[in-house]
Amino acid sequence: MAMSLFEKHKGIIDRAIQAINERSYYAAYPELPKVYAEDSATKASEAYKNQLSKKFELALQGVPVRWAGEEVSPYTQEPLDILYPIYDVEDTIEKSRAAFKSWRKTTPSERAGLLVESLEKIKGNFFEIALATQHTTGQSWIMSFQASGPHAADRALEAIILGYYEQTRFPDKVLWEKPMGKFSVKIEKEFHPQPKGIGVVVGCSTFPVWNSLPGLFANLVTGNTAIVKPHPKSILPIAICVAAIQQTFMENDYDPCTVQLAADTVRNQVTKELVLHPDVKLIDYTGSTEFGNYIESIASKTTFTEKAGVNSVIIDSVADLDAVLQNLAFSVSLYSGQMCTAPQNFFIPDKIIAGDHEVPFDEVVSRMKDQLNGLVNNPKIGAGVLGAVQNENTLKRIEDAESLGGRLLLSSSAVRNEEFENSRTVSPVLIEAEASENHIFESELFGPIAIAIRTRDTIESIKLAKELAAEHGAITCAAYTTDENMMHKISEEMNEVFTPVTFNLTGPIWVNQHAAFSDFHVTGGNSAGNASLTNPEFVIKRFVWVGNRRMI
């Protein structure tokens, strides 16, 4: 008998289980492009250019009713002019239902092996996916490579492996023997994890791969089928992934329609029709709070949402203020604040301790402004860090932020990108506000918008950050303190509203980053989302334990 795909990938699988249980560092897919084949970039560039103004074929998924595509590159501001196959929802569901019949009968280990094999196929497209991500989301090329390539694949692997682990944690079969005095009752028991049905994964425009792969692979490893509904403005990156998975399934004699793409257009969105379908039992969603709340409210569906949040920074005391502000300026600017993990509100008391002396609020803010200016105007990295603004709504929000109130310290202006002269790239806005002016900072201002809020002391900073997280949700909180007691206080208070705290980051690591196998991304406990990548709940809610018994 040929080696199974599970055996083939046993090394990766075992290593991933270990990392998940230890929460230790692991990366199955290196994040440095240079580690991959030398000619990958060139080939991918040709493949990407060759795909423009053409139909994106998904032949394994059948004949579409029409073709459509609306993507526009935030770098060139020109349409990609790629047409995607559009299917009737009922047709997609029917194919998924058919695939479910056979897919549900496969074993968790069989699925895990095939899904890791699919990731390996996707890996072969990392460079092409990177270009596709760059020209749909506006991420820089390097960020596109990392976020939609190795980082997304690692998070997908994490979901696969935790799903496999949870489904195999109880014995398939056990002899249960109950002593009854002179004799015993013997029952043979079997325990089967049963999949729920069809899962729909609704993607967003800024992280079309990273935010979609975990739910997609969590559905698949637990025996459910999956339909990916991308944002109509960011289809290409995930379409390449879906095609690679379908190809892998076909090559290994599984139904390629176990995973399908349900592309649509802005005017004819199929999300509601899909998620309301009675055969759809699972919904993964990344996007606005309003639509996310609607998704969560649909009766009889298991939902996993990531919505908006308001992320805070609490500055109490630091060793090296400029190192801190440099790190934070980078966090705000990275991909123009279009990360759900980007900090927005900086709570800074009248005076902070920096090293062995006090620094007043005004000076902290002024040095923060300098760091932002320095980064943006750095010809080597400024434009690259900022990337491009994905859409006009975000651009308008940045403009509007200037009239939110408070004191405008930095207004936004166009930033020149040497490679793409039409790039939609702008510098961050920095606003100063008083603690009482909460109308300025109480909502998520998606984009490169930072608000420095003057507080009485760190206790007030914590109180405000906690209230915001409790009411509006939060995905990250960065805090700076050299005082162990204050560290304890901050983590305790913020953890109570289910917000993780990251302390004293400086150097080349930012609060925006959550590492696969170790960090839970979103806790699921506050209104920023009801799910967490990848805690046990993220996988076990996708299947049901059913036990059968048999008298011996």
Residues that bind its own copies (CB under 8 A): 21-25, 104, 166, 169-171, 174, 176-180, 185, 187, 189-192, 194, 196, 296-297, 299, 487, 491, 495-496, 498-509, 515, 518-520, 523-525, 532, 535-537, 540-541, 544-551
Three-class secondary structure assignment of 421-475 = CCCCCECCEEEEEECCCHHHHCCCCCCCEEEEEEECCHHHHHHHHHHHHHHHCCC
> In 3D, which of 136, 77, 140, 205 has the Cα closest to residue 382?
140
Judged by beta carbon, residue 272 or residue 550, the one nearer its own copies is: 550
Q: Which is nearer to its own copies, 169 or 396 (CB)?
A: 169
Closer by beta carbon to its own copies, 187 or else 414? 187
* Residues 501 and 477 sit within 8 Å (Cβ to Cβ): yes
Q: Which DSSP helix (H) or strand (E) runs through 394?
A: helix 392-401
Smallest separation (angstroms) from its own copies to the CB of 504: 5
CA distance 26 to 370: 36
* Minimum CB distance to its own copies smaller for 81 or for 177: 177
* CB of 147 vs its own copies, minimal distance in Å: 16
Closest by CA to 261, choosing from 59, 123, 48, is 59
| Least distance (Å) between residue 391 CB and its own copies | 30
CB of 309 to its own copies, least distance (A): 14
Minimum CB separation of residue 208 from its own copies in Å reads: 25
- Write out the two tokens for 99: 């695939």
The nearer residue to its own copies, 69 or 500, going by C-beta atoms, is 500
Q: State the distance between the two ends of the chain, measured CA to CA, in whole angstroms.
A: 33
Q: Is residue 87 within 8 Å of 261, Cβ to Cβ?
A: no
Minimum distance between the CB of residue 549 and its own copies, rounded to whole angstroms?
4
Query: Can you tell me whether residue 163 is helix, strand or coil?
Result: helix
> Which residues share a beta bridge with 282?
199, 302
Q: Whats the size of the chain, residue-wise?
A: 552
Q: What angle do CA 47, 50, 55 make, to 5 degrees?
A: 110
Q: Which of 357, 390, 448 is nearest to 233 (CA)?
A: 390
What are the C-alpha distances in Å from 429 to residues 342, 360, 416?
14, 21, 17
The minimum distance between CB 95 and its own copies, in angstroms, equals: 19
- Closer residue to its own copies in complex, CB, 49/186: 186
In the bound complex, what is the minimum distance in angstroms from residue 23's beta carbon to its own copies? 5
If the CB atoms of residues 76 and 535 are measured against its own copies, the closer one turns out to be 535
Q: Hey, is 33 helix, strand or coil?
A: helix
Q: Which is nearer to its own copies, 158 or 264 (CB)?
A: 158
